[in-house]
Structure 1
Amino acid sequence: MTVAFDNSGGTAVRSGTVTFGTHVVGALGVDWGTVESTVGLPVPIGAGTRTERTWTVCVDRWRVPLGMHIETRDVSVRWE
C-alpha cells in the first residue's frame, strides 16, 4: 500500500502513526471483519513538503478462510 503525505503546515511533522484497516471479504462481497495494523509515520516531513511511503500489509492466513480475500480499504493518520 502506497500512501502520500502532504504537510501543508508551517512546521515539520516529527512523529505520528498510520493505521491500516484491512477487511476480510467473502466471495459474495460480505465484509466479515477488519484487521488493523499500525506503523510509524515516515518522519520528519518538512513544512510544505510531500513524501510517499510503501508498506506491505499482511494478515495471518487463519484469519482469511478459503474463498475469501483481503482488501485494505481504510487508512488513517495521527500527526503529533
Structure 2
Amino acid sequence: MRAATDQRWCEDVTLVFRNSGGAAVRSGTVRFGTHVIGALGVDWGTVESEVELPAPVEGGARKGRTWTVCVEEWRVPLGMHIETRDVDVRWK
C-alpha cells in the first residue's frame, strides 16, 4: 500500500511479509523501484533504494512495516510525483 506524504518526492510504502515456511527468516533486503511520474502520466525514470528486511519473521507468521521512501528532491519538479511500483525481497 502506498500513501502520499507532504513532500512530492516521498511516499509511505506499507508491506506485509508472510513466512509460509516452517523456519524463521533471519535476514534479508527489500528493494524498492520508485518511478518519477510527469504531469501527463509519463514515467520519466526509476530510482532504486534498499532497506533491511524487518527480521526475524517466524515460520507461519506475518510481519508488517511502513517505510518512507524518498528520491532526491531535484528529480521531482513541481507538477510531478513518485510512485513506488516495484518491490523485490530477498531473504535468508
Shorter-chain TM-score: which interval? over 0.9
Percent identity for Structure 1 against Structure 2: 75
Q: What are structure 1's unaligned runs of at least 5 residues?
A: none
How many residues matched? 80
Q: Which ranges of structure 2 fall in alignment gaps of 5 or more residues?
A: 1-12
Provide the residue aligned with 1:16 in structure 2: 28
C-alpha distance in 1, partners of 2:33/2:20?
25
TM-score between the two structures when normalised by the length of structure 1: 0.95
Q: Deviations 1:43-75 (Å, cap 9, x if unpaired)?
A: 000001001011000111111122211111111
Counterparts of 1:53-68 in structure 2, within 5 Å, are 53-68=65-80
Where 1:55 maps in the other structure, the secondary structure is strand
Q: TM-score, normalised by structure 2?
A: 0.83
Match for residue 87 of structure 2?
75
